[in-house]
Amino acid sequence: MASIVELREVENLLSQKNKGRIVLTGGCFDILHVGHVRFLSEAKKLGDTLVVLLESDENVKKLKGKNRPVFFQKERAEMLSALRSVDLIVLLPMMESDGDYSKLVMKIRPDIIVLTERDPLFEKKKEQAKKVGGELKVISLTETYSTSKLGGILGVD
């Protein structure tokens, strides 16, 4: 099972061990589905250690709507930790600005930042990858799966 850590622990944990090529991604992962599993599996193939930045409950509500998250952050982390592809999950507090994310990426110093082709923060992540001397890799989405669409079906918008 993957390690689940608080933000303040991540830098020490990554510096203590040789983690090889670090792959970084992030998200809400509120209603975990096969599209997430496939995305994370593909991300893991790009390196040795897959680090997932897991959004706070407050940020999921802000991004997804008043009825979200369906699962609390620690529950979402527990589900992600059961996936073979995930090595480390970082429980994010409410991040106030893009600068907070950039500082965190600078601490982690990933070799690769992974995102989907429709990621609204594509340009910011591209800039972050450049700052740490890493690569930006795009993984295609599984078209039939979307947490937002599933949420509508389940009545959780």
DSSP string, the chain: --EEEEGGGHHHHHHHS---SEEEEEE---S--HHHHHHHHHHHTTSSEEEEEEPPHHHHHHHH-TT--SS-HHHHHHHHHTSTT--EEEE-----SHHHHHHHHHHH--SEEEEETT-TTHHHHHHHHHHTT-EEEEE---TT--HHHHHHHHT--
Q: Which of 19, 44, 64, 125 is catalytic?
A: 64
Q: Which of 62, 74, 131, 149 is catalytic?
A: 62
Count how many residues are written for the chain: 157
Q: Percent of the chain at pLDDT above 90?
A: 69
Q: Token match 């620690």: residue?
A: 74
CB atoms within 10 A of CB 153: 7
**Amino acid code (one letter) for 13:** L
Q: Where residue 144 falls among pLDDT bands split at 50, 70, 90?
A: low
Statement: residue 86 has pLDDT above 80: yes
Mind listing the domains of the chain with CATH numbers?
A: 3-154 (3.40.50.620)
pTM of the shown model: 0.89
What is the crossing angle of helices 57-64 and 147-154, to 10°? 80
Q: Token match 């930042």: residue?
A: 113
Active-site annotation holds for 64: yes
Q: Where residue 73 falls among pLDDT bands split at 50, 70, 90?
A: very high
Statement: residue 123 has pLDDT above 60: yes
The pLDDT tens digits of the residues spanning 18-46 come to 679 999 999 999 989 899 999 999 999 99
76: nearest Cα among 26, 114, 11, 39:
26
Q: What is the pLDDT of residue 59?
A: 94
Active-site annotation holds for 66: no
Q: Give backbone dihedrals phi and psi of 149, rounded to 5 degrees, phi first.
A: -70, -40
